[in-house]
Amino acid sequence: MSEESTAVTKLVTPVRVSYTYTPGVATGKFLRGIRRGKIIGQACDSCGRVYVPPRGACPRCASPTSQEVELAHKGTIITFCVVRVPSENIDAELPYCAASILLDGADITLFGLIQECKFDEVRIGMRVEAVWKPESEWEYNLANIVHYRPIEEPDVPYEQIKEYS
Amino acid sequence: MRDVAVVSYAQTPFVRSERARNEVEMLMPVIDEVVEKSGIERRKIGFTCSGSTDYLAGQSFSFVMAVDAVGAWPPICESHVEMDGAWALYEAWVKIQCGEVDSALVFSFGRSSMGETAETMTLQTDPYTLAPLGPDAISMAALQARAGLDRGLWSEREMAEVAVRSRRDALRNPEAQLKGEFDVDEILAEPYLVSPLRKHDCPPVSDGAAAAVIAAADVARQACEKPVWIRGIEHRLDSHQPGSRDLTLSPSTKAAGEAAGASSGRLDIAELHAPFSHQEIILKQALGLSDSVKINPSGGALAANPILTAGLARIGEASRQIVAGNGRRALAHATSGPCLQQNLVCILEGD
């Protein structure tokens, strides 16, 4: 085939854009907290719901969330799945268990990995705690929490958490 | 056609860098203000449409997070355009024309300061042949300015005069960013930034947010003392390929202006979205604006150019002028794409 009759099937056009990210007031406070080993949420001025990480506004009320709330490092599994396919973004050994976790005192769930247990024992309502990196490695990054592990506490009944599922 | 009016407008001050607040924090007070001023209860606003681009935040679906500032619970009827907020206003206007809703909240926002604006804008060019070459936004505008200079359509002095006038007018606009008294001869003595453009021919990098509430006549009359009527709003575009255009002309602006009814009455004010000084000259010619039309009393995009917000701000500023009694009929223009590729014209009138 001549060059003219060959279809162009692939074209590589690299694009790179760089940013200087500034997180804003609310998320900035959260990141500074994470750097010190604390999980800082914010409560809505109008309905009191607690958001983590906070963005500065309650999405339900469009009110500011000006009250800071330090959250427990313990929470409840709201939902989970066991992942057996690799993903570029997650540096975890396969298979791993990804879960949506409601920290005590929060009204919004955080994403985390569940480890230090058998995956067939993971269940909705299960109590877990955050496992942090060594303090010397803490950065302005939620990845300071490497994973969550089960704790010896009774499961939370579904009725109490169904609003978050 | 239903009569639709701008019933309120609000914006942040436009600034070089909004480092302290994130997009939601920037938007929340603006949306509170515009809803409050509209006289329409927040829950009764039928539709919400925003204009922004994820390229400014460097974050996919960043516009979804911005909805936090609106209070979208119980779920609201909401939409987004990856375009200037002026086009979000157009979508809202169409929605009202269709009779689906009687009022709408429109907003746009962005922090250009987080990236390299001129390079980011390169990504809106054709991705196969142009974007990989990386012509930045200022260089593309410079090609356009050069084409007009070489053809004798404008001079560097006339370009400088646009910049001086814009920044002088911006002195009266507390929310403008770049303002002051400059001397034409002095700024012409400055070196080129990207020949033939000097720094003063180019817009500042700006962060900011703006919002408007528009409503059909019955709602607008009830809610608002001085509704500003949208008599026409149209948008047109030229080729995506700058090489196939005569860059010294803006046929899409001309067509949009004619369709919107720009020439069907005397205009007092024109708020033109001309990020580069020579573009004001092109737009003025395309729209057939006479010297009696006051151009960019706000200072225009040379005084503040928050990407994808500056167009909505033109509509907002023109309606403010009418509300303030500085004119009865105004033209507001918004642009997008390299070298004035896409253009929207909105004709506004007071009672």
Answer yes or no: is B31 within a domain: yes
**Which residue in A17, A31, A163 has the most chain B C-beta atoms within 10 A of its own C-beta, making it the best mutation to test that interface?**
A17
Which residues span the domain enclosing B51? 4-116+205-223
Task: List the pLDDT tens digit at each of the 351 positions of chain B.
Answer: 999 999 999 999 999 999 899 999 999 999 999 999 999 999 999 999 999 999 998 888 888 889 999 988 899 999 999 999 999 999 999 999 999 999 999 999 999 999 988 888 888 888 888 888 888 999 999 999 999 999 999 999 999 999 999 999 999 999 999 999 999 999 999 999 999 999 999 999 999 999 999 999 999 999 999 999 999 999 999 998 999 999 999 999 999 999 999 999 999 999 999 999 999 999 999 999 999 999 999 999 999 999 999 999 999 999 999 999 999 999 999 999 999 999 999 999 999
pLDDT of residue A14: 79
- Positive or negative, the Cα torsion across B72, B75, B81, B82? positive
Inter-chain touch A55–B24, beta carbons under 8 Å: yes
- Enclosing H/E stretch for B68: none
Task: List the pLDDT tens digit at each of the 165 positions of chain A.
Answer: 566 788 888 888 878 889 998 999 999 999 999 999 999 999 999 999 999 999 999 999 999 999 999 999 999 999 999 999 988 877 778 899 999 999 999 999 999 999 999 999 999 999 999 999 999 999 999 999 999 999 999 999 999 999 898
Rounded to a whole number, what is the largest CA-CA distance in chain B?
59
Q: How many domains does chain B have?
A: 1
CB B351 within 8 A of CB B327: no
Nearest-angstrom CA–CA distance, B70 and B52? 15
CA dist list (Å): A47 to A95, B45, B180, B304 = 40, 21, 45, 37
- Complex-level ipTM: 0.87
Answer yes or no: is B34 within a domain: yes
Inter-chain touch A24–B24, beta carbons under 8 Å: yes
What DSSP string describes B170-216? GGG-TT-SS-----HHHHHTSPEEETTEEGGGSPPPBEEEEEEEEEE
Which of B20, B65, B119 has its CB closest to that of A55?
A: B65
Domain ranges of chain A: 22-71, 73-165
pLDDT of residue A11: 82
Q: Which fold has domain A73-165?
A: OB fold (Dihydrolipoamide Acetyltransferase, E2P) (2.40.50)
- What are residue A49's DSSP bridge partners? none
Inter-chain touch B22–A15, beta carbons under 8 Å: no
Answer yes or no: is B289 within a domain: no
Answer yes or no: is B43 within a domain: yes
